[in-house]
């Protein structure tokens, strides 16, 4: 089958607000990305995914869109965006943007009309959103239609007095959910999508794509996620977008969805699927949530790292899509902690574990997404006051933790280790004030470690984390065997190491990595070691392969076998 361009390139995800501030107002911007285009080239990147750049009151940093047709003044102008596209394309870099379909901002003109019975367009736009009448408790007091809890930890319902109704919001209350059953809404969305594609962008990462349909019976339940996640009918909407727009325009589409059955995985990301080309799934993102404190749910529940669960998640996706669809590999995006802090060791073994993590992931097949700052080993925040955090989710959850009996210090520590702001601190370019991100106090505090962890300090050191990322990411695009190979894990259930062969047409690669601080042994007796030669290690010297090998703390080795020799 002829390969598509997105099967031959690496993706870099840019969190616009924190990437590079070209006009020194403390906020990253589009011109800032344009000025750094050469940086991506040096990193082996061929595709940029840019987080929402649309006009927005920024309750959720742009995922709350006020006007889809306008570029946020925080980020620049449409001219800036066109200039970025033009210059990126000249360098052979393609650009995809975030496409937010599940909700708008409550300041979007549709919602302004929808919530106000006096508005001339009220009737049309009221049905663009999802409304329910209040229920009443036994004392006759108004109560919410259901006890559903949204993704930011509070109720999914907000009361709107002028209509005496509640509207649904599965994210913040400033992000009302759209009614995708409404045909006119779908037509408006399609018009907008075409408009952006006509600007020359190369595709989309489709936000919250598995939430577009809801359970319209609104049964009660707590937290009730099943009533607004992965309901089969959401595929109808994605099919419609795919058939009418994504496929005819022949652009890259990446969906976002937590989990999927095999049948669903193929619908989303199978070859010839109308919906997406790839899917961002989260099976490997929270491999350390086995602390059973009932006061902590989901990602907040901290626990021991289960390396096997990371491998099993990737294995599951490779099995579901083998020969039938294309995979994505990534460590994290702007919604999860920094990987070197989360799965590595951000103190004594910072550099070594960062290189180990790069090695373990980026020799696997599929298209890789590297998240901004990962390539220099940026770490989780060490803020010591809650007022330093910026994410809308932090504030509801912090209060939840206090309400559940945690002390302020405990609540702060839970937030610190898991919150989304970890991945959103300004990119660390150099050791000057504000990490060279801006000359103005940034919208969110720079990480205190910026004088030691930054691009300039790593640029010229061939053994820096940055240069190891450069080497591996470039190697991926120069060796199609990596992107297209078959990954076979070794001792899949082992909880300490992450080892596999990537079997290619011409070359095989053997990857041996240790996720622990202590030495770990690996049994290689099940595979043929003949012909393997060392390609890379984060140790000072190579290791002779034998049936049983011992990997030192956080060590990583890559061996290559050329089948034509
Ligand atoms: C997923 C995005 O990655 C996240 O940052 C955002 O808050 C929600 N979708 C809502 O748009």
- Please give the C-alpha separations between residue 539 and each of 219, 542, 551, in angstroms, as whole numbers: 57, 7, 10
Instruction: Give the other-Cβ count within 10 Å of 243's Cβ.
Output: 12
CATH number, span 109-168? 3.90.400.10
**100: CA distance to ligand 1 center in Å?**
9
Q: In this structure, what token pair is assigned to residue 413?
A: 């520590």
Distance, C-alpha 104 to centroid of its chain: 20
Closest by Cα among 95, 87, 89, 59 to 74? 59
Return the structure tokens found at 52. Answer: 């929402």
The bridge status of strand 367-371 relative to strand 486-490 is unpaired
- Judge if the beta carbon of residue 208 lies within 6 A of ligand 1: yes
Catalytic residue among 64, 165, 177, 207: 207
| Average pLDDT for 189-208 | 98
Question: Is 256 annotated as catalytic?
Answer: yes
Any residues with CB less than 8 A from the CB of 79 and at least 6 apart, and which?
A: none
- pLDDT tens digits, one per residue of 319-340: 999 999 999 999 999 999 999 9
Any catalytic annotation for residue 207?
A: yes
Q: Which of 40-49, 223-232, 290-299 has the lowest mean pLDDT?
A: 290-299
Can you read off the two tokens belonging to residue 261? 């059955």
Mean pLDDT, all residues of the chain: 97
Please tell me the predicted confidence (pLDDT) of residue 9: 98
Distances (CA, A) of 123 to 67, 119, 120, 163: 20, 8, 8, 12
Q: Which residue among 154, 208, 422 has the greatest number of ligand 1 atoms within 8 angstroms of its CB, and so is best to mutate?
A: 208
| Nearest-angstrom CA–CA distance, 240 and 491 | 42
Question: What is the position in ligand 1's atom list of the atom closest to the CA of 152?
Answer: 7
Answer whether 497's CB lies under 8 Å from 513's CB: yes
Determine the distance separating the centroid of ligand 1 and the alpha carbon of 239, expressed in angstroms.
22
Give the residue extent of every domain in the chain: 7-104+183-380+449-472, 109-168, 486-562
Is pLDDT of 291 > 90? no
Burial of 540 (0-12, 13-18, 19+ CB in 10 A): exposed
409 token code pair: 């210090």
* HEC secondary structure over 80-144: HHHHHHHHHHHCCCEEEEEEECCECCCCCHHHHHHCCCCCCCHHHHHCCECEECCEECCCCCEEC
Q: Looking at 285-355, which runs of residues are DSSP E strands?
A: 328-330
Confidence of residue 236 (pLDDT cuts 50, 70, 90): very high
- Residues paired with residue 559 on neighbouring β-strands, in sequence order: 510, 534
Distance CA 255, CA 421 (A): 23
Q: How far is CA 296 from CA 7, 262, 418, in A?
A: 39, 30, 12
CB-CB contact of 282 with 314 (8 Å):
no
Q: Ligand 1, residue 102: give the atom nearest the CA.
A: 11
HEC states along 8-39? CCCEEEECHHHCCCCCCCCCCCHHHHHHCHHH
> What is the sign, positive or negative, of the torsion defined by CA atoms of 62, 66, 67, 72?
negative
- Ligand 1 atom with minimal separation from the 103 CA: 11
Residue range 87-143, pLDDT digits in tens: 999 999 999 999 999 999 999 999 999 999 999 999 999 999 999 999 999 999 999
In short, whether 335's Cβ falls inside 6 Å of ligand 1 is yes
For residue 353, is pLDDT > 90?
Answer: yes
Atom of ligand 1 nearest to the CA of 63: 11
> Which tokens sit at 404?
């559940």
Q: Tell which phi-psi region holds residue 376, choosing left (phi > 0), alpha (psi between -120 and 50) or beta.
A: alpha
Collapsing DSSP to helix, strand or coil, 503 comes out as strand
Query: Tell me, what's the pLDDT at 539?
Result: 98
**CB of 495 sitting under 6 A from ligand 1:** no
Reported as a single tens digit per residue, the pLDDT across 538-558 is 999 999 999 999 999 999 999
397 in ligand 1 pocket by Cβ < 6 Å?
A: no
- Helix, strand, coil shares of the chain as percentages rounded to 5? 35, 20, 50
Ligand 1 centroid to Cα of residue 104, in Å, is 12
Task: Tell me the DSSP string of 144-194.
Answer: -S---B-TTSSBSEEEEGGGTEEEE-SS-TTSPBB-TT-HHHHHHHHHHHH
**d(Cα 63, Cα 60) in Å, to the nearest integer?**
5
Q: Is 285 in the pocket of ligand 1 (CB under 6 A)?
A: no
Interval 72-91 mean pLDDT: 98
Q: Using the mean position of ligand 1's atoms as its centre, give its distance from the Cα of residue 486 in Å.
A: 32
Give me ligand 1 centre to Cα 63, in Å: 6
C-alpha gyration radius of the chain: 24
Annotation: CATH topology of 7-104+183-380+449-472: TIM Barrel (3.20.20)
60 Cβ inside 6 Å of ligand 1:
yes
As given in the structure block, the two tokens for residue 107 are 């300041």
Return the residue whose CA atom lies nearest to atom 10 of ligand 1. Answer: 63
Please report the sign of the dihedral spanned by the C-alpha atoms of residue 397, residue 399, residue 402, residue 403: negative
Say which of 256, 275, 351, 393 is annotated catalytic: 256
Which pLDDT tens digit goes with each residue over 436-480?
Answer: 999 999 999 999 999 999 999 999 999 999 999 999 999 999 999
Residue 69's alpha-carbon distances to 86, 99, 128, 192, in angstroms, are 19, 12, 18, 7
Would the pLDDT of 1 be above 90?
no
Is the pLDDT assigned to residue 406 strictly greater than 80?
A: yes
Of 19-23, 29-33, 167-171, 561-565, give the lowest mean pLDDT range.
Answer: 561-565
**Burial per residue of 180-209, b for 16 or more beta-carbon CB atoms within 10 angstroms, e otherwise:** bbbeebbebbeebbeebbeeebbbbbbbbb
Ligand 1 mean position, distance from CA 205 (Å): 11
pLDDT at 157: 98
At 342, list the tokens.
């989360």
Q: Read off the pLDDT band of 565 (50, 70, 90).
A: confident
Domains 109-168 and 486-562 share a fold: no
- Pocket test residue of 100, 106, 156, 171 for ligand 1, highest count of atoms within 8 A of CB: 171
The residue to which tokens 């099993």 are assigned = 312
Six-digit token string for 200: 């020359």
Q: Which CATH superfamily is domain 486-562 in?
A: Golgi alpha-mannosidase II (2.60.40.1180)
Name the residue of 53, 63, 106 to mutate for ligand 1: max ligand atoms within 8 A of Cβ.
63
DSSP code, position 246: I
Q: What is the per-residue pLDDT for 260?
A: 87
Distance of CA 459 to the CA centre of its chain: 26
223: preceding bond cis by omega (within 30 degrees): yes
pLDDT band at 272 (very low <50, low <70, confident <90, very high): confident
Residue 53 has what DSSP assignment? Answer: -
Contact partners, residue 90, CB within 8 Å, separation at least 6: none
Determine the distance separating the centroid of ligand 1 and the alpha carbon of 195, expressed in angstroms: 22
Does residue 171 line the site of ligand 1, with CB under 6 A?
Answer: yes
Ligand 1 centre to CA of 218 (Å) is 23
């Amino acid at each position: 089958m002829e390969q598509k361009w997105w099967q031959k390139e690496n993706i870099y995800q840019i969190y616009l607000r924190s990437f590079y501030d070209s006009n020194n107002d403390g906020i990253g911007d589009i011109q800032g990305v344009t000025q750094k285009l050469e940086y991506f080239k040096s990193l082996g990147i061929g595709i940029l995914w840019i987080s929402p750049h649309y006009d927005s009151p920024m309750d959720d940093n742009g995922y709350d869109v006020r006007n889809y047709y306008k570029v946020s003044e925080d980020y620049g102008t449409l001219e800036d965006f066109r200039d970025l596209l033009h210059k990126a394309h000249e360098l052979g870099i393609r650009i995809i943007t975030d496409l937010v379909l599940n909700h708008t901002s409550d300041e979007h003109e549709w919602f302004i009309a929808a919530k106000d019975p006096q508005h001339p367009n009220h009737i049309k736009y009221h049905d663009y959103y999802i409304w329910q009448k209040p229920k009443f408790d036994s004392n006759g007091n108004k109560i919410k239609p259901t006890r559903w809890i949204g993704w930011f930890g509070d109720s999914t319902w907000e009361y709107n007095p002028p209509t005496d109704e509640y509207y649904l919001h599965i994210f913040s209350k400033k992000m009302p959910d759209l009614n995708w059953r409404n045909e006119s809404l779908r037509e408006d969305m399609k018009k907008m999508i075409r408009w952006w594609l006509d600007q020359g962008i190369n595709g989309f990462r489709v936000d919250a794509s598995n939430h577009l349909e809801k359970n319209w019976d609104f049964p009660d339940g707590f937290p009730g996620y099943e009533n607004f996640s992965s309901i089969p009918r959401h595929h109808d909407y994605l099919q419609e977008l795919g058939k009418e727009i994504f496929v005819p325009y022949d652009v890259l589409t990446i969906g976002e969805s937590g989990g999927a059955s095999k049948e669903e995985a193929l619908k989303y990301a199978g070859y010839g699927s109308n919906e997406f080309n790839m899917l961002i799934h989260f099976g490997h993102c929270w491999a350390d949530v086995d602390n059973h404190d009932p006061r902590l749910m989901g990602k907040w529940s901290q626990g021991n790292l289960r390396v096997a669960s990371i491998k099993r998640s990737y294995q599951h996706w490779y099995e579901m899509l083998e020969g039938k669809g294309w995979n994505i590999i990534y460590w994290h995006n702007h919604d999860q902690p920094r990987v070197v802090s989360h799965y590595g060791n951000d103190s004594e073994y910072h550099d070594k574990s960062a290189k180990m993590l790069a090695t373990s992931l980026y020799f696997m097949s599929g298209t890789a997404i590297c998240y901004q700052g990962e390539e220099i080993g940026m770490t989780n925040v060490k803020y010591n006051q809650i007022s330093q955090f910026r994410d809308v989710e932090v504030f509801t959850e912090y209060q939840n933790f206090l309400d559940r009996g945690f002390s302020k210090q405990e609540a702060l520590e839970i937030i610190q280790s898991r919150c989304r702001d970890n991945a959103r601190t300004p990119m660390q370019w150099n050791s000057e004030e504000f990490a060279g991100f801006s000359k103005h106090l940034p919208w969110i505090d720079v990480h205190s470690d910026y004088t030691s962890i930054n691009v300039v300090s790593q640029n010229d050191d061939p053994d820096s984390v940055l240069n190891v990322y450069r080497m591996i990411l470039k190697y991926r695009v120069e060796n199609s065997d990596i992107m297209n190979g078959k990954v076979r894990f070794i001792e899949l259930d082992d909880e300490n190491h992450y080892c596999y062969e990537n079997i290619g047409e011409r070359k095989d690669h053997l990857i041996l990595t240790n996720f622990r601080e202590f030495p770990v042994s690996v049994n290689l007796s099940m595979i043929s070691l003949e012909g393997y030669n060392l390609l890379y290690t984060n140790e000072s010297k190579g290791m002779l392969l034998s049936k049983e090998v011992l990997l030192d703390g956080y060590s990583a080795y890559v061996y290559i076998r050329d089948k034509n020799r």
